Structure 1
Amino acid sequence: MENTFLEKTFKLKENNTSVTTEILAGITTFMTMSYILAVNPLILGDAGMDMGGVFTATALASVIAILLMAFGANYPFALSAGMGLNAFFAYSVVLGGGHTWQFALTAVFLEGLIFLVMSLFKIREAIFNAIPMTLKKAVSVGIGLFIALIGFSNSKLIVAGEGTIVTLGNLKSPEVMVTLFGIVITGILLAMKFRGAILAGILGSTVLAIILGVTKLPTSIVSLPPSIAPVAMKLEFTNIFTFEMLVVVFTFLFVDIFDTIGTLIGVATKADMLDESGKLPRVGRALFADAVGTTVGALLGTSTVTTYVESASGVADGGRTGLTALSTGFFFFLSLFFFPIFAIVPASATAPALIIVGLFMMEPIKDIDFKDFTEAIPAFLTITMMPFAYSIAEGIVFGMVSYVLLKVLTGKAKDVSILMYILAVIFILKSILT
């Protein structure tokens, strides 16, 4: 039926797809990224936030952003609270920086507002182009190591040592056994190209956790969504004009810009959606969906919302339009009523997901030129300082400042953009004045 609502809205024939293909692709995308509904409450819970409220806020923010992507941009891209960004929120800003989670939520809200302005004036791409590709790649790798470290720590596979900074945990402990089991199961399923391998790994680990007494069976399966009252509208505006807020907001901006644009380019390339000049039509609408998702998500009570690279799984299954995204959003909505199941998942069962996602983020390291030391040293500092200093922000600062200094002092000043000079000066002044 050519004139159906779905055909008119999503232009299915024009994109050589069908309703059935799009819906199945959306289910695949949901399966590969739904682990965030178990992982995000645990990570933000470490920052002191109510886990039930974060669960509901994450699902609602995902639905809102996905609806904008589906109907506004007509792309098969799904969005939710970003991995890496949630870790920065909890472990760098709150636990590492000594700020409240309300402070961090405010930074996310401000980031969202800035993104909205940037989307309207089309300047996100300009910022993207100003940062050297080496540092873009290094940030992804560094965050991958940072996330993996959190996973190892949550599982007690790595613990604080007496004579060393960290050491191997007790391999016989139930928590460690659950995590190791999850890594093996997830790895096998990934090798078999099983859709939803990460989610299946979490579920399998949770079953073992129940058997070993790490967690308990839920008293119910279906329930009304947990209230978002403990986390919604909890912004803290008393410190918005401080240097600390500036650095935190910039880091959220920096990571999210590269994460989102990189994901859009990667998934769009896989789906053959780029035009002859390598640009993505309607990219502004896609970026707008992520900006609104972040802004609304902060008000609801969750960390930065971003486009998920797992969208590539739905694209690989034939998804080509916003109907794929709409299908994914429908299942995020359904998940709101299954919190009792997500609530029993222990940290040791989500740790394998963090470790595997860390692995996924390592891929760009192969594109870094390690023969040019003015590129290699800043990249190395960016990558290593994130886990070693336990701060994504510090990794970015060390990488940017060292990049500018090495380029200038070796006669390659022309390789540095004006924005990079400005940022390096700001970071140096911060170190001197604080």
Structure 2
Amino acid sequence: MLQRIFKLAEHGTDVRTEVVAGLTTFLTMSYIIFVNPEILGGTGMDRGAVFTATCLAAAFGSLIMAFVANYPVGMAPGMGLNAFFAFTVVGAMGYGWQQALGAVFISGCIFVVLSATGIRRWLIAGIPRSLRCSIAAGIGLFLAIIALGNAGIVVADPVTKVALGNLHSAPALFAMGGFFVIAVLDALKVRGAILIGILFSTLGSILLGYTPFHGVFSKPPSLAPTLFQLDIPGALHHGFFHVVLVFVLVEVFDATGTLMGLTHRAQLSQGPHKARLGRALFADSAAILAGSVLGTSSTTAYIESAAGVEAGGRTGLTALVIALLFLAALVLSPLAAAVPSYATAPALLYVAGLMLRELVDVHWDDHTEAVPAALTALVMPFSYSIANGLAFGFISYVVLKLFTGRAREVHGAAWVVAALFLVRYVLFTGT
């Protein structure tokens, strides 16, 4: 049956290889079941419900990827987008988490339309490579400042804005220990290094009495506090114009770039396999809608799926295994509740460091490419907003190209995105 559904022989693989690949990918991305409740819980959302929503959204998205696209790609709520949801939309802008979920749902609807009509491909083709790279790096820097703050390593200062915190404090020590565990294990190619680092810091915190522990297994927490709690009418308020825009743009770049990179590595981007990319794009957009209804931020394809591809995963059976493991993880809610923010901080910081490598591909010798890229990456953490970083990058890119006589190099999509952000700053300055 598995052979018939997933065409294993056609892809040069077998059940054992696919199962191992699925387990490998799950171990590398399962940190999200600990990190996501911590981040979204800061908005007032019930952490237990977010934990359940995270597992279900990841399982649902991975199942769609398995049976619709037959790709070895795991899905889960995305890093960066959850930070934008919690720290910018709810934290800095002051909107309720229900409205933020409404904005995720609307962005998912737009995403489906963009994927179905081919506009998504047009957008991707029109965004310069330098900006695409700097967006990933900027989100990485944004995650880094959040991580360092959660660990108490960086603190606010009235004179210098930021300063070094107390490195002798328990949160800082646990965070630094977890970070080095992750970094060393990952350098040694140990699967699940990020998850092991989180568990290392959590276990140390529990054993030394800094964190209460109530067991490992239990019945999954109720989904009721977040299920169908999205406020779509509230998200249609004019202040959400650029919030939805940012969700859509980041979802487009992140998910599409991840899928294209993974399919190329798995040799699924050529010949008869190439047509399935469209179905994969639809799968991740449908998963966004499901996640917003369940009660979590945007669900997307995970770059950690590369670990499973390296282990031989070539079909949707890999994604099916990932989905089943996320469902099995539902009974781990007491363990997830015991994970403090300074234990997930090392994971955020390490992921941030990996995302910075994207800056290598920026054309630094061309100022009309380098300056917008630098602004994009720098404004995100310093303004505590992914939206502002995107806006500064696109607007500066268009302006520099226009006034240096190189306007013809600007794709229509870049003009459109820059104009939308400009309208936002001119008309909605208070939002």
Scaled to the shorter chain, the TM-score interval is over 0.9
Cross-structure match for 2:387: 393
The one-character-per-residue Cα deviations of 1:347-393 (angstroms, maximum 9, x if unpaired) are 11100000011011112100001111111110010000000000000
Contact 1:122 1:284 in 2 (8 A): no
User: How much has 1:343 moved relative to structure 2?
Assistant: 1.0
204, 210, 215: which one aligns with 2:206? 210
More displaced 10-residue stretch of structure 1: 121-130 or 44-53: 121-130
Contact 1:174 1:212 in 2 (8 A): no
Contact 1:214 1:346 in 2 (8 A): no
- Map 1:31-430 onto structure 2 (within 5 A): 31-218=27-214, 220-275=215-270, 280-430=274-424
User: How much has 1:276 moved relative to structure 2?
Assistant: 6.0
The one-character-per-residue Cα deviations of 1:182-234 (angstroms, maximum 9, x if unpaired) are 0111111011010100001111111111133321222x322111111111111
Contact 2:105 2:232 in 1 (8 A): no
The one-character-per-residue Cα deviations of 1:84-128 (angstroms, maximum 9, x if unpaired) are 010010011110111111111001001111122222223211111
The letter of the residue matching 2:261 is: G
**Pair 1:57–1:410, CA change in 2 (3 A):** same
SS of aligned partner of 1:395? helix
SS of aligned partner of 1:223? coil
User: How much has 1:28 moved relative to structure 2?
Assistant: 0.6
Tell me, in whole angstroms, the C-alpha distance in 2 between the residues paired with 1:402 and 1:213.
Answer: 51
Contact 1:175 1:214 in 2 (8 A): no
Gapped regions of structure 1 (runs ≥ 5): none
Contact 1:234 1:301 in 2 (8 A): yes
Cross-structure match for 1:6: 2
Tell me, in whole angstroms, the C-alpha distance in 1 between the residues paired with 2:15 and 2:232.
Answer: 46
Contact 1:231 1:300 in 2 (8 A): yes
The letter of the residue matching 1:194 is: V
SS of aligned partner of 2:10? coil
Cross-structure match for 2:11: 15
Number of aligned residues: 428
TM-score, with structure 1 as normaliser: 0.96
Contact 2:72 2:315 in 1 (8 A): yes
More displaced 10-residue stretch of structure 1: 15-24 or 421-430: 421-430
The letter of the residue matching 1:170 is: N
Tell me, in whole angstroms, the C-alpha distance in 1 between the residues paired with 2:43 and 2:73.
Answer: 29
Tell me, in whole angstroms, the C-alpha distance in 2 between the residues paired with 1:378 and 1:207.
Answer: 43
SS of aligned partner of 1:129? helix
Tell me, in whole angstroms, the C-alpha distance in 1 between the residues paired with 2:166 and 2:292.
Answer: 38
Tell me, in whole angstroms, the C-alpha distance in 1 between the residues paired with 2:21 and 2:71.
Answer: 12
Contact 2:72 2:314 in 1 (8 A): yes
The letter of the residue matching 1:346 is: P
Gapped regions of structure 2 (runs ≥ 5): none
Contact 1:369 1:375 in 2 (8 A): yes
More displaced 10-residue stretch of structure 1: 134-143 or 412-421: 412-421
**Pair 1:129–1:96, CA change in 2 (3 A):** same
Tell me, in whole angstroms, the C-alpha distance in 2 between the residues paired with 1:239 and 1:229.
Answer: 20
SS of aligned partner of 1:425? helix
Coordinate RMSD, CA, aligned: 1.3
Contact 2:137 2:356 in 1 (8 A): yes
User: How much has 1:324 moved relative to structure 2?
Assistant: 0.6
SS of aligned partner of 1:361? helix
The letter of the residue matching 1:188 is: V
Q: State the identity as a percent.
A: 47
SS of aligned partner of 1:167? strand
Contact 2:288 2:300 in 1 (8 A): yes
More displaced 10-residue stretch of structure 1: 27-36 or 91-100: 91-100
Contact 2:230 2:295 in 1 (8 A): no
User: How much has 1:162 moved relative to structure 2?
Assistant: 3.2
The letter of the residue matching 2:106 is: L
Tell me, in whole angstroms, the C-alpha distance in 2 between the residues paired with 1:394 and 1:347.
Answer: 26
Tell me, in whole angstroms, the C-alpha distance in 2 between the residues paired with 1:264 and 1:426.
Answer: 26
The letter of the residue matching 2:131 is: L
SS of aligned partner of 1:238? helix
The one-character-per-residue Cα deviations of 1:224-251 (angstroms, maximum 9, x if unpaired) are 1111111111122333443321211110
More displaced 10-residue stretch of structure 1: 420-429 or 308-317: 420-429
Tell me, in whole angstroms, the C-alpha distance in 2 between the residues paired with 1:264 and 1:403.
Answer: 26
The letter of the residue matching 2:229 is: K
More displaced 10-residue stretch of structure 1: 53-62 or 419-428: 419-428
Contact 2:103 2:232 in 1 (8 A): no
**Pair 1:425–1:15, CA change in 2 (3 A):** closer
Tell me, in whole angstroms, the C-alpha distance in 2 between the residues paired with 1:17 and 1:217.
Answer: 42
